[in-house]
Structure formats: structure tokens, C-alpha cells
Amino acid sequence: MDSVALAVTDGMLHFELSLACEVFGSAPAGVPGPWYDVAVCGPDAVRVDRFLLEPDHGLDRLRDAGTVIVPGWADIDRDPPADLVDAVRAAHAAGARVASLCTGAFVLAAAGLLDGRRATTHWAHTGELAARHPGVRVDPDVLYVDEGSVLTSAGKAAAMDLCLHLVRLDRGSSVANAVARRLVVPPHRDGGQAQFVTTPVPAPDNHPLAALFPWVLERLDQPLTVEDLARRAGMSSRHLGRHFRSVTGTTPLQWLLTQRIRHAQELLETTGDSVDTIAAATGMGTATTLRRHFNRTVGVPPDTYRRTFRSRNVPGPDGGPDGGPARTAVSGAAVASPGDGPSGRGTAPGSWRPSAGPARR
């Protein structure tokens, strides 16, 4: 998935296009090895909102990419160009992973890539997407949907969430977090989190759980319960659950488990600690418990995840000098991110997805 092609044509939205260029076009400082090879593909010069853009390659280049990204489509009342639709369809048939940002989902739907699949787009246009393409199972209440070889996101900021999700799948949590730090954005929002259509997204310092989150993250090694969290937040367990659902889109226990798994991922990537040590550091208690939850959530055992994403300069658990291959591709599968789709929304947690073709990992 190291080659990323951005599919552009007249009528694309510049925000989503620029966002994808920022995520995949520049490696964060300190990340070893090559970064993504990004190509902007389109028919001659194209008008992107107020800007005139000269693509690097024609749309036929999409077939050679590991990942194809379709930015937002400005005028959903107009059918997307046939050459763009055909090129996206051909790229997916050749094995590319195809992702749409915001209303780019209308291009994927026109190509038939969303038929029978769950998908989303900007909340203002989910009804139109469902009406125009009845074969698509449109979910209006999520930030993004990962269906393996086809991914879709909601609007604007959710496009960033999906791009970081792709980096996390390819390079691991620590690298995705480094990208987020460079761009000064939250490192992870679960795909199943609500789009907050009817209420504003709470500012970091003024929602009821703002002080609770960092307190929990500093104590992941401790056996915390819902009652402990409620007591710290100064509210009843039921009241706490309602706030968690509003702010995170999931339950307190599911959120806590996601934080434990994510911390375990970071330790597997960045340290040579044993699985037993990491189990204690993440509050899982025993290696057996960690392996069970990790395998169910991420889709692979901790040892397999470590071999895939551990940095080269990190010693192994046996103290050896070589930390093993950094972000080595795993044949025939892709590692899922924890917590995607809480409460049944988004991808089933921990999907270990089969290859869609020879260009897939």
C-alpha cells in the first residue's frame, strides 16, 4: 500500500484533496524508511474549487496504485465523469484499496464498489446517497466505514480520521500518532463514533469527561471499573454511560478496553518488553488475557503484530540487537485498528481481512 494515487477531476473539493496530500505526501520526523509514493492523477488540468491543478499522471495510473483515494465531489446532483468512474472501478478490480473522502462516496457508488457494502458520506448527503444507490447500506451516524478493500468517510474532519486510519493499518499506531502530532490533530477517533449532527462537537476542555480521560490514561495499568470512573467524574454510573455515549459513541468499558489495546500496540511497536510485562502495564493482568482481547480486537496475536510493526532499533524480548523488520507487510491480510465500530457500528472489531487481489498486502 506504499503507492497512493489521488483521483482528481473537475469539481473536486480542495480541502479533502489537500488533507490527503498532507497525510500521505510527507513523512513525520523520525520515521525510518521510505514513506508513501503519492501521485495526483487526472485528465489534463482540472479545476478544483477555486484552484487550477495539473495532475502528475492520467487516470490510467490508478490501476498501478496500492491505494486509490477519491476526494470530495462538489456537485452531487451531477453524475461524476465516466472516465473517473471507470478508472476507479478498474483500479479496484486490479487489487487496489479504494477510499473515498466525504462525497467522494458518490464516485465509488457510481462505480458499483459500494453495492452490498456499508458506507457513509457527509451527513447532509447520506439520504441522497441511499436514494440514488439503494444497493448501498448507508450509515449516516459514523465517521468512517472500513470494508476492507473499500473505505468511505464522512465530511471534512472525518476525512482526516480515515486517512490516519489507513496509516495506522499500514504503519502501526506509533507512526499514525506521529503523523497526527505533526498535523496537530487528535491521533484517533473510532470510525463508529457519531458525526455529532444534532449537537456541536465538545471542545477539549468543556465537556463533562474532559478531566476524566487523561486521569484514566495515566492509570491504564490499574484495574479500573465503571464505578471507579463514575466516582472520579462525580456522577452516577448511568449518567457516566450517557456522557460516554454522547462524547465517544461507545460505552465506558469498551472505551477503556480500546485504550488498553492501543497502549499495548504502542508498547509492542516501541519496546522490547515481554507480553507478560505489557499485559501488566496495560491493566490486562496476564499474557493470556492480553492475547485473548488483542487477538479479538486487532485480529492477530501480539507477537504477530510486533513482528509486523516493531521499529528496527527496538530490541526483541530476548534482548537481541535487531528489533526485526519494521512494518513488514503481512502476506494476504491487513491489521485492523482497535475499536473500529463500537456497538456494532463500523467494521467488526479486529477484522483480519483477506487479500482482495495481488496488489493487496
Q: Report the catalytic residues.
A: 102
Q: Around Cβ 156, how many Cβ atoms within 10 Å?
A: 15
Give the count of alpha carbons within 13 A of 25, CB side only.
12
* Alpha carbons 100 and 129: distance in angstroms, whole number: 13
Nearest to 213 by CA among 189, 195, 183: 189
* Alpha carbons 112 and 249: distance in angstroms, whole number: 30
Q: Which helix (H) or strand (E) holds 265?
A: helix 252-270
Helices vs strands, H then E, count in the chain: 13, 12
Q: Around Cβ 112, how many Cβ atoms within 10 Å?
A: 15
The distance between the two most distant Cα atoms of the chain, rounded to a whole number of Å, is: 61
Q: Cell 471507470 maps to which residue?
A: 86
β-bridge pairing 333-334 and 353-354: antiparallel
Are the CB atoms for 166 and 340 separated by under 8 Å?
no
Nearest to 336 by CA among 354, 351, 356: 351
* Alpha carbons 20 and 46: distance in angstroms, whole number: 17
CA 227, chain centre distance (Å):
31
* Alpha carbons 285 and 288: distance in angstroms, whole number: 9
Nearest to 163 by CA among 139, 188, 141, 184: 188
Bridge partners of 150?
A: 98
Are the CB atoms for 85 and 94 separated by under 8 Å?
no
